[in-house]
């Protein structure tokens, strides 16, 4: 197998940061007469495959929308099953992820998560912080508007305390106050299941990302679908508002 660094030198190089809205677990299950949680369980298998595929393709950052702030409105039983799956994933996978060189990070409102999940997240971040093969960012209890609001509050506090001059507030200052501070913006956003929305995901950061919407439901999403989406990304002409 090629080393990660040699993959990153391939032409064309892979997108540095791929972000995925994993959608369609419920419909996958309903279509088979199974419970929604079975769909989420299969969705977790897909996460494993996509992490492996991302490392093989030389992607540096993979951000997965695991649980949105709006998902707290789902029935208590589904939330509790999703949180159970997350516990399972964190307990079972950390060792293997660490061995594969994956650095794990989490964005989103931690105070809304159960204490034991916060501890698992903190342990995962600490244990994997030296890894460089792939940065796996999981958005949990995450909402972009809430993230931007918190950033504005934090900037305002610094201005009020005299630590920051308001004339120096620019895009870099705002980015540095987001939870993704220090990470590159996504180059490619993939949403599965045929829906074509951003759903409060990384609103600031996706300003220039290529958006690829595919009909496949998340539990059926494969490493080949990931490669197809990346090929589609390569066919796009990224101009950032300039002429060709
Ligand atoms: C969207 O499907 C999916 C979710 C709300 C949760 C995603 C969770 C997983 C893939 C499980 C494990 C996650 C991690 C990070 C280990 P949906 O329920 O909205 O599907 P529907 O639109 O068909 O109802």
- The tens digit of pLDDT for each residue in 70-82 reads 999 999 999 999 9
Q: Known catalytic residue: 23?
A: yes
Q: What is the DSSP letter of 142?
A: E
From the CA of 71, give the closest atom in ligand 1: 5
CA of 43 to the centre of ligand 1 (A): 6
* Pocket flag, ligand 1, residue 94 (CB < 6 Å): no
Distances (CA, A) of 37 to 66, 69, 82: 14, 19, 7
* Pocket flag, ligand 1, residue 93 (CB < 6 Å): no
What pLDDT does residue 11 have? 74
Q: Kindly indicate the confidence band of residue 239, based on its pLDDT and cuts at 50, 70 and 90.
A: confident
* Pocket flag, ligand 1, residue 26 (CB < 6 Å): yes
What is the chain's mean pLDDT, rounded? Answer: 95
Q: Bridge-partner residues for 188, per DSSP?
A: 18, 210
CA of 221 to the centre of ligand 1 (A): 12
3-state secondary structure of 81: helix
Q: Known catalytic residue: 200?
A: no
Task: Report whether pLDDT(190) > 80.
Answer: yes
What pLDDT does residue 1 have? 45
Distances (CA, A) of 101 to 95, 132, 222: 10, 6, 21
Burial of 16: CB neighbours in 10 Å, binned 0-12, 13-18, 19+: middle
Pocket probe mutation, ligand 1, options 19, 21, 26, 62, max atoms within 8 Å of Cβ: 26
Tell me if the domain spanning 13-143+184-233 has CATH number 3.40.1180.10.
yes
Residues across the chain: 244
Distance between alpha carbon 220 and the CA centroid of its chain, in Å?
18
Pocket probe mutation, ligand 1, options 28, 34, 40, 117, max atoms within 8 Å of Cβ: 40
Q: Kindly indicate the confidence band of residue 140, based on its pLDDT and cuts at 50, 70 and 90.
A: very high
What pLDDT does residue 6 have? 60
């Amino acid at each position: 197998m090629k080393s990660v660094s040699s993959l990153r030198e391939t032409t064309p190089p892979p997108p540095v940061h791929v972000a995925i809205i994993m959608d369609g677990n419920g419909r996958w299950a309903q279509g088979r007469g199974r419970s929604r949680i079975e769909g989420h369980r299969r969705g977790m298998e897909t996460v494993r495959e996509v992490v492996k595929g991302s490392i093989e393709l030389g992607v540096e950052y993979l951000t997965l929308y695991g649980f949105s702030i709006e998902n707290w409105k789902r029935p208590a039983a589904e939330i509790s099953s999703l949180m159970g799956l997350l516990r399972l994933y964190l307990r079972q996978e950390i060792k293997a992820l660490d061995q594969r060189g994956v650095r794990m990070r989490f964005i989103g409102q931690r105070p809304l998560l159960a204490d034991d999940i916060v501890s698992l997240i903190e342990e995962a971040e600490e244990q994997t912080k030296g890894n460089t093969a792939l940065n796996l960012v999981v958005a949990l209890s995450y909402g972009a508007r809430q993230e931007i609001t918190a950033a504005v509050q934090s900037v305002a506090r610094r201005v009020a305390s005299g630590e920051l001059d308001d004339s120096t507030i620019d895009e870099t200052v705002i980015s540095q106050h987001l939870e993704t501070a220090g990470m590159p913006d996504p180059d490619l956003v993939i949403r599965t299941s045929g829906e074509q929305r951003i759903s409060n995901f990384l609103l600031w950061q996706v300003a220039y990302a290529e958006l690829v919407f595919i009909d496949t439901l998340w539990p059926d999403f494969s490493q080949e679908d990931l490669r197809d989406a990346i090929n589609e990304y390569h066919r796009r002409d990224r101009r950032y508002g300039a002429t060709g």
